[in-house]
Structure 1
Amino acid sequence: MAIHHLHAAVKAARRAHEVEVANSSAEHGPWFDELLHAVPMAVIMAAAAVEAQANEAIQDILDGMGTAQATDAQKVLLRELKDSSASNTLDKCRHVALVFGQVPDRGRTEWEEANLLFVFRNRLIHFKPAWDHEEVHDSKWVRALKQRIPVYAPYATAFQFPYGFITYGAAKWAVTTALAFAGHIAPILGVPNRFDGQSYALP
């Protein structure tokens, strides 16, 4: 499912690009609803692709497709990790790496970006309305995202979440972040990168 989740994210990102280009000189209006549909879809599905890829990586190892052969004890740990909903996806990847003696550098850009992707995804899925003065609009993770993705112009000076991040740039960032993390973590876990050989090109 990881491949299909990411294809869904890419399709949503491409749609966001089409809408943004078609309305580049237009005032804020009903067309923005199209972005409200496409951009969160891209973010949510990109994060879902990373989650699916992590679980599929564990199954690859259990099926003997990894470079390291798991012992019976390691297989027990891996099955518990795959079935667990207690830890987040990035922790799960780290734990799998540790099982095989690898210590990932979580200070790397790929980990930082992926963590932001999941924060963004969670804030969209578990959306809570907030007044303009509330902390969410100027939180640490919002400031971090502003350094990575363009803000929708009408909200540039008086930012509001999520509307300020409803841009094609946000959708593209989500897809590229998912791809970068997958490309980084697959060799650490000793499994194939499922996204290799797929077409995920974006404008």
Structure 2
Amino acid sequence: MKKNITSNLKAIFKTKGELILTYHISRQHLNSAKYFSSCAQEIESSTVLPINDEVRSKHLAFVTGSIILSVAALESSINEFYCEAIDKNPNTLKGIDSIRLAIIAEFWEEIERLSILQKYQKALFFLGIPKFEEGNKVFQDAENLVKLRDLLIHYKPEWDNELNIHAKIEKRLNGKFPLSPFASMESLWFPHQCLGFGCSNWSIATIITFMNEFCQKVKIPERF
């Protein structure tokens, strides 16, 4: 009986013609991020000021959800890449030298403890491919996005006259996307002005650009 394999399912034929399946969630994370971002955009385009607390809360939920899931997509995708190397998946990693894949698989336990972007850098290193230049825009945007996600997940409030980490994220991100239409210019840049559709849309574009460049470097099909 023929199996219907969705875009998130990966199949490998093992010995004796056995078909085994595994599920990749990175694309679903990205789709969820896109959905939440579109919900934030709809609220911004349809809401007449002043905004009430209920709508504001929904808007922030969609924006923060989109940002967090964008980074989740980036992280889960590179983890999936390493697992494919361990499995020697001939479908998604076709064309990559088997010896290099074996080296990647050998060091996975060590690599697993690295940060998200260092996992990408280490994969390129083991494949004999030039790593991302850490000063270029593609890498910097991805790094800034991860820092924003970390700031949301590990949030610590700061007094407006003693801004430290919040001021640093503003310096990194200010000017990269349109600000929230629901925040006044007198309000804190982070989190109030920063967290809007502009930021969530930038987050999605950032991980897609980064991932596509990684795939081009490795010469594998686009994963998003």
The normalised TM-score by structure 2 is 0.78
| Contact 2:112/2:119 (<8 A) preserved | no
The structure with the largest strand share of the pair is 2
Correspondence list, 1:1-203, <5 A? 1-23=25-47, 25-30=48-53, 31-61=55-85, 62-64=88-90, 65-71=93-99, 75-81=102-108, 84-106=111-133, 107-133=135-161, 134-139=163-168, 141-153=169-181, 154-195=183-224
Give the Cα–Cα distance (whole angstroms) in 1 for the partners of residues 112 and 153 of structure 2.
17
1:119 Cα shift? 0.5
Higher radius of gyration, 1 or 2: 2
1:105 Cα shift? 3.1
Cα deviation per residue 1:78-105 (whole Å; 9 max; x = unaligned)?
3533674421111111111111111123
- Give, as a single letter, the amino acid of the residue that structure 2 aligns with 1:75: A
Give the Cα–Cα distance (whole angstroms) in 2 for the partners of residues 93 and 158 of structure 1.
37
| Contact 2:180/2:198 (<8 A) preserved | no
| Contact 1:110/1:180 (<8 A) preserved | yes
Give the Cα–Cα distance (whole angstroms) in 2 for the partners of residues 117 and 41 of structure 1.
13
Cα deviation per residue 1:5-37 (whole Å; 9 max; x = unaligned)?
0000000000000111111x4124312111111
Give the Cα–Cα distance (whole angstroms) in 1 for the partners of residues 67 and 132 of structure 2.
24
Corresponding residue for residue 9 of structure 2: none
Q: CA RMSD in A?
A: 2.0
| Contact 2:67/2:200 (<8 A) preserved | yes
Q: Which moved more, 1:106-115 or 1:175-184?
A: 106-115
Please give the secondary structure, in 2, of the residue aligned with 1:96: helix
Cα deviation per residue 1:83-136 (whole Å; 9 max; x = unaligned)?
744211111111111111111232332111111110011111111122112213
Percentage identity across paired residues of the two chains: 21
The normalised TM-score by structure 1 is 0.85
Give the Cα–Cα distance (whole angstroms) in 2 for the partners of residues 82 and 110 of structure 1.
27
Give the Cα–Cα distance (whole angstroms) in 2 for the partners of residues 171 and 95 of structure 1.
28
Question: Residues 132, 28 of structure 1: CA spacing in aligned structure 2 closer, same or farther, 3 A cutoff?
Answer: farther
Question: Residues 159, 192 of structure 1: CA spacing in aligned structure 2 closer, same or farther, 3 A cutoff?
Answer: same
Question: Residues 175, 79 of structure 1: CA spacing in aligned structure 2 closer, same or farther, 3 A cutoff?
Answer: farther
| Contact 2:124/2:130 (<8 A) preserved | yes
Corresponding residue for residue 198 of structure 1: none
1:147 Cα shift? 1.6
